[in-house]
A and B are shown apart, each in its own frame.
Chain A
Amino acid sequence: MKRIFLSLFVASFCYSGFAQGILDSATVNVAEETELIRYLAGVEKTHAVRFFFKDEWLEPFRVETSANGKSLRSMLDQLLLGSEIKFTLISGYGVVFVKNPQAMIEHENLLTKAVTEKRDIKIKTIGNAGNYSPGKKLTLTGVVVDESSDLPISGAIILVNNRQAGMTGANGHYQVILSGGEYVVSFRYFNFNEQVIDLKIYADGKLDIELQNRPVVLEEVVVSDQAVVNRRVGQSTLVVSTMKRASSFLGEVDVIKQIQNQPGVTTVGEVASGFNVRGGGTDQNLVLYDGVPIFNTSHALGFFTAFNSDALDKVSFYRGGIPAEYGGRVSSVLDIVSKEGSNEKWQGGGGIGIISSYLTTGGPIKKDTTNLMASVRASYSDWMLNTIKSNYQDVQQSSVSFYDASLKLTHKINRKTKLIFSGYTSFDRFSLTNDTLYYSRNMAGSIRVDRTISEKLFGSLFLGFGKYEYKIREEDLSTAFDLKYSITYPSLKLDFNYDGRHKISFGLHNTFYDFSPGEITPTSTASDTHYLKIQNERSLESALYLSDVFYLNEDLKLEAGIRASVFNRIGPGVVYQYDPDKSIEIENVVDSVSYGSGDIMKTYTGLEPRFSAQYTLNESSSIKFGYNRMFQYIHLVTNTAAVAPVDIWQSSNSYFKPQVADQFSLGYFRNLKENTYEAFADFFYKKVQNTLDFKDGAKLILNKNPETTLLSGNAEAYGVEVSLSKIKGRLLGSVNYTFSRSLRKTNGIFDREKINDGEWYASNYDQPHVVQVNWRYGISRRYFFSGTFLYHTGRPMSLPVSAYRVDGIPVLQFADRNSYRIPDYHRLDLSLILEGSHKRKKLWDGTWIISFYNVYARKNAYSVFYRDNGNGRLLPYKLSVIGSIIPSVSYSFKF
C-alpha cells in the first residue's frame, strides 16, 4: 500500500505542470446540498477527469450550494480542511484522494501498544459517519468515577491520541472538543488502571468512565507521559501509596518529609518539619487541609508530620506558577485533600509503628448518599520515654505525646448537590524538665456545599474555621505561669468552576484573623510572674480571583489569572508614632493614636497577576513558563532558623507592610525512551519585598511593641532545579540537583536598623547545592527496596570571631550575620517494604516496613548553640539530633 502512495506522489510531482487545468477550470454548481461522492460522480460525467478514493473516506462530506461558483480545487480544499484527507492530480486527468497514512499508523500503534501493556480497551462509537458534517467540532463529555466507591475523580487526565486533551474538574466532569473521526482516548489517574477507548465519534456525545483502583502497583509512581503537557511549571503531585514505599523516619509515612524531597525544597534541620521552598521562609508556605490553613504541620518539634497519610487523598504542591485561587503566602502552596469514605462498602486500615499507631476507616452510612471517613493517630512515646533509663535526673518526668484525628462526612443531598463536612485536629504535649510543659493544638473544620449548577458550571460554598494555639506552663511554684498564644481564623469562600473550552475559575475568599499575641498569668501565689496580656490583633483578609485555563492551539496551553486582595487591620488597637529622626525604639515614641473596636486601622490592597504557559514542542518535550505575584499579610516572627515551638505570627499593620513576591519560572520538560524517563530543568527568580528580620537582641515573646524589634527588608532567590526520573520498570527513582541562592538585605535608615551594614547576606536557609536521590526497586511484585540519599550545603550561621571584656563582663564579637556555614549535611536511608498479597478481593492486606535511617551514622548538625565554658565565655557546639543509625519496623494494614 505504501508503495502505491509513493508512486502516486512521484507521479504527481512529475505531471503537476499539466495538471492545474481541470481542478481550476471546473466550477462548482449544485442545485442543492449533495453528497460529495455523488457530486464527484457527476463531475466525472461532464469533465475529462477520474476520481480515485475509498467510499468511506468521503462519505461524511457534502457539497453545499454556498460553494457554487468556486473552482473545484477551492471547494475541495475548503471541504477537506482539517480532515486527514488530501487530494492530488495525476497525469492531468486523475484526482487521487489519499487519507494521511500517518494518522492511521499512529492509531494502529496506539492500540497495539495498549494491547501489549494489557490496558483495558473498549470500543465505542458515537454518532454515524454518514450524518457527520465534516469540519464540525464535536463535544465529548462525561464523568470519571472510581469504580469501587462511585466517587468522582478530579484531576484525571484525558489523552486523545496520546496528547492531553483535558482533565476532569472537581466533580469528575470532563469535556473534550474533537473533529469527527477515529481516536484512541485514554483516561488516567494515579493508582488507577488506565481505561483506553477506541473511539469513533461523529456526533456530540457522553462517555462516562469508571476507573478501577490498580491492584498491582509496580508501575504506579507518577502519571507518565502527560507530564509533558500536564504539569505546570513548578508543580508536583504526591501519591500517597508511593510515599508509603519511600524511606521514612521510624517507618512513619510523612507528607512533609516527602515534600522536602522535592526539587527546590530544603529544610534547615535534621528533623525540622517546616520546609523552605525556593529560598523562602517556613512561614511562606500555605498548607491547606481541606481548604483550611494549618499553621503547625508537625508533631514533636518536627520529628513527625501532623497528618495521617492514610487519611489523605491528594496532595498537590506548587512552588511556582501558583494559580490565582491560592493566596496569602508568597512561596508555595501545599494543598492537602482528605479522603472521602467509600460509597460501596466499609473499608479501613491502620499501622503500628514504634512511636505511634493509626487507624483509618470509612464507608457508606447510607449507600450512595452519605459516607464517612475517620482516622485517628496517637503516640505512645510516653511509655517509651519512661522505659528508658537515664542519668539525667529530670528525664523520668519528661514526656512527649501527640495525637491527630480527622473526620470527613459526605452527603449527597440530590444528584446535583453535595454537602461535605471535614474536621481535623492535632495535639502535642511536651512535659519538659524543670516543670515546664508545652501544649500545642491545631484545629480545622469546614462545611462545604458543592453544587453542579449546569453541566459545565460547578459552584461551591465553603465555611471554614481554624485555630492554632499553644500554651507553655511553668509549674515551678516560684515562677509558675501559663503563657498562652492563639490564632483564630474563620473563613468564608465562594468558588465557581466553569468547565468548557476555557476552564474558568472565579471566587471570593475571606479570612478573619484574631491573633492573641500572648497572655501570661501567674498560677501560684508565690509566683513572681506578673499578669500581662498583649492586646489582640484582628484583621480581615479578602480576595477576589479569576482565572482561565485554555488551549490557544493544540500545543499552547495558557493559564492567566488575577487575584485582588485587601487586608484590613481592625481595631481596637493603639498605633504609636515614633520620632522620624530617630530609630524606632520605645523611648522615641512621640505620640499615639487609639482606635476603637471595629475601626479600620490600616488597609493594604494587592493586585496579584498569575500567568503560566505550557508549550508542547513535540510528543516528548515541552516548555513551561510561569509568573506570579503574591501578597502575604501575616508573618512568622522568629529568631530561630528551624521551627521552634514558640512561634509568633505577626499580622501586617501600620508598621509592617505585606510581603510581596514576584516569581518567574521557566522550565523545560522532556520524556526519554518511550516515557521511561522524565527529565526537567526549572529556572526561577524570586524577589520578595518587606520581609521581616529581627534586630540584634530582639525580645519577641510578650512584646507590646514588636515594631521596635523587627526590621523590614528585601529578599531575593534564584536557582535552577534539574531532575531526572525513571518512571517505569522495576527500578523507579529520581535524581534531583538544585542550585539556588537565597539572599536578604536589610538596610534601614539608622545604623541599628541595618544588618551587615545594609549589604546582601545569605538567609538562614541559603543552601546552594542540594542533591536528592530516591529510588525504589521492585524485588518482586510485593517486595520493594527503597532508599533516599540527601546532600545539601550546610546552612549559614554566625560565629564569634573575637572576645573581650568590658566592666568585667565578657563580650563576644560575632562576624557578619550568616557569614559562616555549619558542616554540609548528608544522609542515606534505606527501607525494605514487604507488602501482602495483591489479590483484588482479599480481606486483609498487611505491609511490613523495615527501615534504616541515617545508615552510615553521620552526625549532621541540627543546630549550633553556645555554652558557657564556666568562665563567662560562650563556645559554639553543634547538636546532632540523630547521631547514629536508627533502625525501625512498622506494620500497616488494610481491610
Chain B
Amino acid sequence: MRLVYILPVLLLLVDSCVEKLEVPVVYTSGLVVDGLLTDEPGPHTVKLLITSPADKDLDYMQYEGGAEIRIVDESGNVEPLAETEEGIYVTSNEFRGEVGKKYQLSITTRNDRSYQTDLIEMLPAGEIVNLSFEYKPNSINSQDLTLPQHAVDIYLDGSGVAGYSNLLRWRWHGTYQTKTYPEKRIKKTEAGIVPDPLPCSGFVFDPAAGKIVQKRDCECCDCWATEYNTLANTSKDTNPGDISYNRIFLARLPIDQWRFYTKYYFEAEQLSVSDEVHQFWRLIEAQQASAGDLFQPNVVQVRGNVRSLNDPGEEVFGVFSVSALSRKSFFINREEIPGRLLKPDTVIADCRAYFKNSVNQKPPFW
C-alpha cells in the first residue's frame, strides 16, 4: 500500500532516476540521553552520547564521560550512578523503580552543564496476555530471489490497567542457535593444502597423523545469537477507555537457514511509558514508516524529555524512560515451520565473530 511501489511504474513511463541528494547541511552537535529505569532489579543504565552528523556511521558514536548522574525520587532519595565505561552510567544492583513512585534524572556534565527531566511517574505496565506466530509464505524479498522469501510474523495480545493512561511501548529480542565448523579451516603451504583449525575449535593439526585431533572442547562452534527489534512500536489510538491490545504486530522473522535451525526463542517486553516518552517513540515510528516513501515523507522532529537547566533553548536529545516492564516468551520449534528448511551452510569461522550479538554460553532459558 505504500507509495514506494509506484516507483517502477514511473520509472517505466519515462526515463527516471534516483540519485543521492547532495545538499550541504549544517550539523550542530547535541547531548543524547539514553536511559531506562524499570521495576526490575538493577543495574539500570543511562548512556550519555553526542549526536553524530547525519551522514556518519552510527556504530561509532562519541560517548560523554565524566558526568555526574543521579536519579532522585519524589521523596528526595538519591541514587547516584557510577560510570562503568566512558559515557555509560549504572545504578546499584539493588536499585529498582516502584510503580506509582516518581523519579527524576539529573545530570551534570564535566563542563558543569546541568540537565534534568521532570518527575516521571512509573505507571503499571499491564501484562502480555499471549504471544503467537503465523507462517507467511512469499511475504518478503520478492524483488530478490536469492534472499529468504518466507517469514514468521509474531503477534502480541496485551492488556493495560484500567484507570491508567496505558501508554505502552513494546520491544523484543530473539535467540537462536548457530553452528560453525572452525576446525575445518585449511591453509595453503608449500606442501599443499593442509588443515588449519582455529584455536578456539579445540582441534589441532597433527602433521604426523595427517589429520586434526581434538584437544579441548570447542569454544566457538555452538553459539546463541540474539537479535533485537530495530523498529519502534508503541500503542496506538484505540477507542477511548479500551485497555486491550490485540494482535499487535511485533516482528517479521525471515526464515533463513539459521533462525529455525533448532528452535527460536522469542521474548517480548511491554513497557509503560510517560506521555512524553510515548510521543518520542511514536515519532520515531512515524519516521521509520516514512522511509522509502517517494512522496514528500513525513518530517518528524523527535523531541525528548530532558531539558537543559543552563540554557532552556538548548536542544537535548533522547529520553530517560521510567517504565514498569512485563515480559513473556515462547519457543518456535523447527517442526512448527511448514515446508522444508534450507540446510545451513558449512561456515568455517568463530561463531562468536560470525554472528552478531552471539555468545558461546548456552542461555539459561535454552
In the complex, what's the smallest C-beta–C-beta distance from A257 to chain B, in angstroms?
15
Docked Cα-Cα span, A640 to B294, in Å, equals 9
Q: Does A879 contact B (CB under 8 A)?
A: yes
With A705-B237, A801-B25, A880-B17 in contact, is A394–B286 under 8 Å at CB?
no
A806 and B34 in contact, given A640-B296, A817-B301, A863-B294 (Cβ under 8 angstroms): yes
Q: Which residues of chain A from 344 to 385 have any CB-CB distance to chain B below 8 Å in the complex?
A: 381, 385
Query: Are A300 and B13 neighbours in the complex by a CB distance under 8 Å?
Result: yes
- Report A-chain residues with C-beta under 8 Å of the C-beta of B21: 822, 861, 864, 876-878
Given A813-B317, A875-B55, A642 contacting B298 (CB threshold 8 A): no
Contact with A along B13-32 (1 / 0, CB 8 A): 11111111101011111101
A587: contacting residue among B167, B228, B283, CB under 8 A: B167
Query: Does residue A764 face the partner (Cβ distance < 8 Å to B)?
Result: yes
* A813 neighbours in B (Cβ, 8 Å): 30, 51, 54, 301-302, 317
Known: A641-B295, A641-B296, A804-B49. A882 touches B228 (CB 8 A): no
Q: Which B-chain residue is minimally distant from A804 (CB atoms)?
A: B32
Residues of B within 8 A of A587 (CB): 165-167, 237, 240, 275
Number of interface residues of A (CB under 8 A): 99
Additional 20 contacts, C-beta under 8 A, given A751-B303, A809-B231, A859-B17 = A303-B13, A393-B142, A394-B142, A400-B13, A585-B237, A640-B293, A804-B317, A805-B58, A805-B61, A806-B280, A810-B58, A814-B301, A822-B23, A861-B21, A865-B296, A878-B18, A879-B10, A880-B17, A881-B10, A881-B14
Please judge, given known A-B contacts A301-B10, A587-B167, whether A804 and B18 are in contact too, CB under 8 Å.
no
Q: A504 to chain B: closest CB distance in Å?
A: 45
The CA-CA distance from A472 to B21 in the complex, in Å, is: 31
Q: Kindly state the separation between the CA atoms of A875 and B20 in the bound complex, as whole angstroms.
A: 8
Supposing A798-B299, A867-B292 touch, asked if A390 and B231 sit within 8 A by C-beta, the answer is: no
Contact present for B279 and A807 (CB under 8 Å): no
**Which B113-163 residues sit within 8 Å CB-CB of chain A?**
134, 136, 139, 142-143, 145
Asked if residues A697 and B143 are in contact (CB atoms below 8 Å), the reply is no
> Does A803 count as interface, using CB distance less than 8 angstroms?
yes
- Chain B: minimal CB distance from A642 (Å): 6
Q: Please, what's the 1-or-0 string for B292-332, where 1 marks a CB less than 8 Å from any CB in chain A?
A: 11111111111100000000000001110000000000000
Say yes or no for A51: interface residue by CB 8 A criterion.
Answer: no
Given A642-B295, A698-B286, A872-B230: A801 and B165 interface contact (C-beta under 8 Å) = no
B19, A880: Cβ atoms closer than 8 Å: yes
Query: Contacts A751-B303, A810-B58 known; A884 to B15 CB distance under 8 Å?
Result: yes
**Of the 9-residue stretches B1-9, B195-203, B207-215, B260-268, which lies at the interface with chain A?**
B1-9
Contact assessment for A807 and B171 in the assembled complex, using a CB-CB cutoff below 8 Å:
yes
Inter-chain contacts of B285 with A (CB < 8 A): 697
Inter-chain contact B12/A385, CB cutoff 8 Å? yes
Can you give 6 A-B contacts (C-beta < 8 A)? A433-B142, A434-B5, A697-B300, A802-B51, A817-B301, A859-B19
A672 within 8 A of B: no
A205 neighbours in B (Cβ, 8 Å): none
Given contacts A639-B296, A797-B296, contact A883 B287 (CB under 8 A): no
Residues of B near A699 (CB, < 8 A) are 236, 286
A30 is an interface residue with CB less than 8 A from chain B: no
Q: What is the minimal beta-carbon distance from B308 to any residue of chain A, in angstroms?
A: 15
User: In the complex the two chains form, is B286's CB within 8 Å of A804's CB?
Assistant: no
Contact between chains at B5 and A436 (CB < 8 Å): yes
Interface string of A813-830 (1 = CB under 8 A from B): 111111011110000000
Q: How many residues on the B side are at the interface (Cβ–Cβ under 8 A)?
A: 86
Contact of A433 among B5, B14, B294, B300 (CB under 8 A): B5
Among B56, B165, B300, the one with the most A-chain Cβ atoms within 10 Å of its Cβ is B300
CA distance A705 to B238 in the complex (A): 10
**If the complex has contacts A640-B296, A864-B296, A877-B21, are A812 and B54 also in contact, measured as CB distance less than 8 A?**
yes
Tell me if A868 is interfacial: C-beta within 8 Å of chain B. Answer: yes
- Contact at A802–B143, with CB atoms within 8 Å? no
The answer, yes or no, to whether A388 is at the interface (CB within 8 Å) is yes
Q: Are A395 and B12 in contact (CB under 8 A)?
A: yes
Pairwise interchain contact A820-B23, C-beta atoms closer than 8 A: yes
Shortest distance between the CB of B208 and any CB in chain A (Å)? 48
Q: Contact between B240 and A398 (Cβ–Cβ < 8 Å)?
A: no
Contacts of A810 in B (CB 8 A): 58, 230
A381–B14 alpha-carbon span in the complex (Å): 12
Please indicate the chain B residues that have their CB under 8 angstroms from the CB of A877 in the complex: 18-21
Binary A-proximity of B28-63 (CB < 8 A = 1, otherwise 0): 111010101000000000000101111111110100
Check B8–A398 contact: CB distance below 8 A: yes
- Is the Cβ of A802 less than 8 Å from the Cβ of B23? no
Q: A861 to B296: give the CA distance in the assembly, Å.
A: 11
Distance between B281 CB and nearest chain A CB, rounded to angstroms: 8
Known contacts A301-B10, A804-B49, A822-B21; decide if A866 and B286 are in contact (CB<8 Å): no
- One of B9, B18, B36, B301 near A398 (C-beta < 8 A): B9
- A761-820 contacts to B, CB under 8 A, are 764, 797-818, 820
Are A802 and B52 in contact, CB atoms less than 8 angstroms apart?
A: yes
Instruction: Say whether, besides A434-B142, A804-B317, A809 and B230 are in contact (CB < 8 Å).
Output: yes
Contact A867-B240, Cβ < 8 Å, known A434-B142, A806-B34:
no
Question: A86 at interface (Cβ–Cβ under 8 A)?
Answer: no
Task: Note all chain A residues with C-beta closer than 8 A to B291.
Answer: 865-868, 874
In the complex, which residues of chain A have a beta carbon less than 8 angstroms from the beta carbon of B54? 799-803, 812-813, 873
Does A126 belong to the interface (CB within 8 Å)?
Answer: no
- A886 close to B14 (CB less than 8 A): yes
Please state if B30 and A807 are interface contacts (CB–CB under 8 Å).
no
Contact with B along A578-601 (1 / 0, CB 8 A): 000000011101001000000000
Instruction: State A651–B247 Cα separation when bound (angstroms).
Output: 32
With contact pairs A880-B16, A883-B16 given, residues A804 and B318 touching in the complex (Cβ less than 8 Å) = yes
Q: Which of A476, A586, A642 contacts B240 (CB 8 A)?
A: A586
CB distance from A402 to the nearest CB of B (A): 12
Q: In this assembly, does A483 line the interface, its C-beta being within 8 Å of a C-beta of chain B?
A: yes
Q: Does B223 contact A (CB under 8 A)?
A: no
Determine if B179 is an interface residue (Cβ-Cβ < 8 Å): no
A395–B7 alpha-carbon span in the complex (Å): 10
Shortest Cβ gap from A759 to chain B (Å): 13
User: In whole Å, how far is B124's beta carbon from the nearest beta carbon of chain A?
Assistant: 15
A-B pairs with the 10 shortest C-beta distances?
Answer: A697-B286, A640-B295, A802-B51, A798-B299, A641-B296, A586-B237, A883-B17, A432-B5, A800-B54, A876-B21
